[in-house]
Structure 1
């Protein structure tokens, strides 16, 4: 996820409950291939060996740039490359990138084939269609025909964004299409999957190969637990402290302003008396030291460790 799944947050999630595979943030291939632009995006590709297998998530619309990027990503030690053909944001999609590639199937195919130059497994992250749900049949058939390692399908159209429920009712039909066209391609489902347990139930019911959890991690940082259990407010605050420490640890590898942390506070501070005020105060902090001091003061006054319903 953009501005979310950096090396810092991935390590927080790993501490809470590790997934099987990690993906980087979006990295623009045009910037990656530019002699100056590479410096602005390199932090997005920072990872540590304890995170493996790591998959680089890239976007753009120039096949030759995907070819060059794929070769360099292989040298950097990534285990796979994921092509973004699903981002619904207007300034991406309307330029024919992200989900805009759904309307440019020939270019999408060229990009997939070009990315294979790096020798890594190539996967595609996309949506059911651009405007209408019925687009999925022709679009996904086309993608399956490209001989990819994995298809991750967000079960909504670009037009739907995340405003409607994910179309789980189409999983069986999509799986049948995969079996017919590309039985060796793994099928991963995304959309409204809150945790590992729900994902495994879907996998067993429909015979799919995996599930992807994105926004659900904001609601439950323990979403990937193999044995779900109750968690407390103290555990969430401990994860916030870890997040702050890791931000310091990796600041030389991934230069980000402190304010980028603010989007994460709501994950950890909730469900307890005074949570709203603490979040407000944290949003006004300007440094790691200030945030830690607020946490120290708040926890010193906590009269109970509340179980949180995630």
Structure 2
């Protein structure tokens, strides 16, 4: 099996789990790891909140041994604050520190962080330099194609991040203004790969095993990263791994097994966050797993009311009685 190295961290070359706020929590990451995710990046955490010892932010940084190799991801737009946040984050013993310079959501980009940093490459350079100077693990950067179609600057930006000390660069093939539509541009990932000597991770529109293989082939990237394609479908990681190794895509597990995996993920969420928060946050989780099942609309409505594991077991029983759509 091929591997890549980010600094001194060795990662199998299959598919990684993308950092997704309010989605890629510890329960989700552990399930994806079980199903073959080779590397994962946690939910983005505010470096500024960390410097104030914000408990909720600190919870985002927990790294269990079951998840390794794993990065924690920080966002912010002040070099000194990012360095202080990085020092706090390192206490959680991540394998890698990832800096978010690609998030398009208004509460991040609107405050000058995330993808807004692509408009200020020199500030981004100072941030990476500051974090690298305090970090005892590799520092990586996640970027987009650019801010908008008139400022596509991923290539010079990536070169500057490498110069600042970044050990790898993840590229999402859309501009900030494109958010998550239309299609991700693989040519920009290829251009970044050809421009830098550190590993490049390709991100955007990996919904099937064929998509992952195509991303490797078209861009020459060192690793592919799966985001929304894994919602309710951690099985995709095993499909990608098997397809890359054998050229054969295994079928999805049968419905009872998929629902058992869903139940396990919700159970983990409740264990880590308590029933009240765990169940409410799992409403969306459960609805993703139920896609393609007969009576899905009714089942998803029931997911919106989830409060206990008993509620979930009732939904599972209903889903099994409906069966899959053919």
Partner of 1:277: 298
Query: 2-side partners of 1:281 and 1:295: how far apart?
Result: 11
Quote the residue 2:68 is aligned against.
Answer: 52
C-alpha deviation, 1:173, in angstroms: 2.3
Alpha-carbon separation, structure 2, partners of 1:197 and 1:209: 16
Would you say how many aligned residue pairs link Structure 1 and Structure 2?
296
Matched, 1:236 2:258: yes
Instruction: Report if the CA contact (8 A) 2:168-2:201 is conserved.
Output: yes
Q: Which runs of 5+ in 2 are unaligned?
A: 1-19, 243-248
CA contact (8 A) 1:199 1:210 kept: no
Q: In 2, distance between residues paired with 1:25 and 1:156?
A: 20
How high is the TM-score relative to the length of structure 2? 0.83
Residues 15-63 of structure 1: CA distance to partner in whole angstroms, max 9, x if unpaired? 3x2211111101100111104x2x1212211231111111001101121
| 1:144–1:276 Cα change, 3 Å | same
For residue 297 of structure 1, report the CA deviation from its aligned partner. 5.0
Where does residue 139 of structure 2 map in the other structure? 122
Of 1-10 and 201-210, more deviation after overlay is shown by 201-210
In the superposition, the TM-score normalised over structure 1's length comes to 0.87
Deviations 1:125-147 (A, max 9, x none): 01011122633343233223223
Q: Secondary structure at the match of 1:229?
A: coil
CA contact (8 A) 2:266 2:278 kept: no
5+ residue gaps, structure 1, are none
Cα distance in 2 between the residues matched to 1:248 and 1:94: 33
Contact 1:195 1:213 in 2 (8 A): no
Asked whether the equivalents of residues 233 and 270 of structure 1 are also in contact (C-alpha less than 8 Å), the reply is no
Aligned to 2:273: 251
Alpha-carbon distance change, 220 to 68 in structure 1, aligned in 2, over 3 angstroms: same
Alpha-carbon distance change, 265 to 243 in structure 1, aligned in 2, over 3 angstroms: same
Alignment-derived partner of residue 9 in structure 1: 28
- Distance in 1, matches of 2:121 and 2:293, equals 49
Superimposed CA distance per residue, residues 223-260 of structure 1 (whole angstroms, 9 cap, x where no aligned partner): 211223112322321121112211222225x9835321
Instruction: Sort the Cα spacing of 1:151 and 1:273 in 2 relative to 1 into closer, same or farther, 3 A.
Output: same
**CA pair 119-156 structure 1, distance change in 2 beyond 3 A:** same
Q: Does structure 1 conserve the Cα–Cα contact (< 8 Å) formed by 2:294 and 2:319? A: no
CA distance in 2, matches of 1:31, 1:107: 20
More displaced 10-residue stretch of structure 1: 225-234 or 1-10: 225-234
1:55-66 alignment, distance < 5 Å: 55-66=71-82
Per the TM alignment, residue 82 of structure 1 is displaced from its structure 2 partner at its CA by 0.5
Corresponding position of 1:91: 107
Kindly indicate whether the alpha-carbon contact (under 8 Å) linking 2:147 and 2:175 is maintained by their aligned counterparts in 1: yes
Q: 2:313 aligns with which of 285, 292, 301?
A: 292
